[in-house]
Amino acid sequence: MAVISGVGVSPGRAVGPVVRMPEPVGEPAPDARLSDGADVAAEGARIADAAEQVRADLERRAATAHGEGSAVLEATALMAADPTLVTAAQRKLDDGIAPARAVWEAAAEVAAMLESLGGYMAERARDVGDVRDRIVAVLDGRPAPGVPERAEPFVLTARDLAPADTATLDPSTCLALVTAEGGPTSHTAILARALGLPAVVAAPGISDVAESTVVLVDGSGGTVETDPSPGDIDAVRAAAARERHFDGTGRTADGTRVQLLANVGDPKGAAAAVGIGAEGVGLFRTEFCFLDRAEEPSVDEQAEQYLAVLEPFKGRKVVVRTLDAGADKPLPFLTDADEANPALGVRGFRTAARHPDVLDHQLEAIARAAERSGAEVWVMAPMISTASEAASFVARAEAHGLSSAGVMVEVPAAALTADAVMEHVAFASIGTNDLTQYTMAADRLLSGVAELNDPWQPAALRLVRLTAQAGARQDRPVGVCGEAAADPALAVVLAGLGVTSLSMTPRAIPDVAEVLLSVSIDECARLAQLAVDAPDARAAREAVRAQLPTP
């Protein structure tokens, strides 16, 4: 038995045999040339036919994919249908370049062009590489890259996964995901959470595990155990077979209330949250109606889109986060694509200094949707660093009739001055993803520092405690809406630190509810102290998990 460590990005445990993703399509030789006398027109037609075959295959798979996966596949199919790549590759044939090499070089040019545009278009550059690989595979007569088909359930391992690969995963046969690369915000992480699959990324040791080896994946602990004992296998399978239900009231064993809310980003996410019985929404990410736009959407359009998310929660709390643009979510009409260090630049609430009208328009749209929906709407601003910024946002929100205004605590400065911040706000919500990133100086997008970017870091937990204590002193609720809330063991710690609500991917709510019900609030506080006193994230996690039941 060996234990491989990585970063857990989607909670849960699963056990099964390893199935490895095929190695990615290799780059054709730079000097690959057409043979003398080759029919350039015919070779050009071959490229077009290959692209059409790829498009048709992607659309076929999109029709059977699950949830967000279907949208990802459809977007990749659209890229395959776009004539830009094919035309650019066909032009290179006139210079004597072989078809596969021509596609490779043309794809590099198209991807560079998209990246230069920034924002949503830059995100599509990864799709170009995916389409390129598939076209090259067809031209070379090789199987298309993608998830292997197996009749029996398996654990999928890979160096990394392309969006279209991740999107085609069938949770009825794929039990868990493990990648050697990637980070907490990779496609693997995002779609694994959406599908409810345990996932571990940034685990380089997985590349040495042979196909068919039985492994136990712990997506909360970030570990992969090879050749687990029969007892461990039986325990994991028994837990997986047991249905869990959330009764709609989050609480500890002694009845201390801890609201269990959902993170949502669009109407589909809202429907999933309602279906699981979430008490409300702790984080409504409003970016979904902005990310593919070159211009700001109108107030009317925003109001309609927000209403579609709010209406299912009539009478329940929905915390709406204003636009979190910047860093990994640039918008052409709002942010500067040339910022040298956007994670530390003009993002979130800071964009309002340059574009106050965008924030005012959004607040107006939220207020309209709130009035029509019947939901209990709270509103909060991201990337708040000072008490004066908090006061400014609250005043702006109240001017639009939004009386329950609060802030995200993602910057260590906001946690360290939480008493001053709380004087101005109705509530605070801690974004553990960014709070950990800034506390540990570890970029969320870099797999090389993924181990540091762990919400179990005692330094980050101490900042959570400072914020919760300030909220308690001024009778202000303090929630957590980062991915940390979805880890049942860490949820117990957060409750013990004084957090009053936890917001997470809807699929995680039943597991979190079950573990919270197994401990009193005093026990939560004791375990929280163990975590805070630990020397590092791994020790904190191990110390707490050793004393909790595994859901």
- Any idea which residues carry the catalytic annotation? 187, 481
**Residue 147, C-beta contacts closer than 8 angstroms, at least 6 positions apart:** 21, 156, 165, 168, 169, 174
End-to-end CA distance of the chain: 23
Between CA 278 and CA 521 the distance in angstroms is: 21
User: Residue 35: helix, strand or coil by DSSP?
Assistant: coil
Q: How far is CA 8 from the centre of its chain?
A: 12
Host H or E run for residue 429: strand 428-430
Residue 285 parent element (H or E) = strand 280-285
Greatest Cα pair distance in the chain: 83
* CA angle at 180 for the pair 175 and 186, rounded to the nearest 5°: 75
Cα–Cα separations (whole angstroms), residue 153 to 4, 63, 382: 21, 22, 41
User: Count of residues for the chain?
Assistant: 551
Q: Strand, coil or helix: what is 6?
A: coil
- Report the C-alpha gap between 157 and 510 in whole angstroms: 27
For every residue of 159-222, DSSP letters joined together read S---HHHHHT--TTTEEEEEESS--TTSHHHHHHHHHT--EEES-GGGGGSPTT-EEEEETTTT
- What are the beta bridge partners of residue 406? 380
Buried b (16+ CB within 10 A) or exposed e, 418-445: beebbebbbbbbbbbbbbbbbbbebbbe
Helix, strand or coil, per DSSP, at residue 109: helix
DSSP-assigned letters across all residues of 371-422: HHH-BEEEEEESS--SHHHHHHHHHHHHHTT---EEEEE-SHHHHHTHHHHH
Interatomic CA distance for residues 82 and 94, integer angstroms: 21
Q: How far apart are CA 224 and CA 216, in angstroms?
A: 6
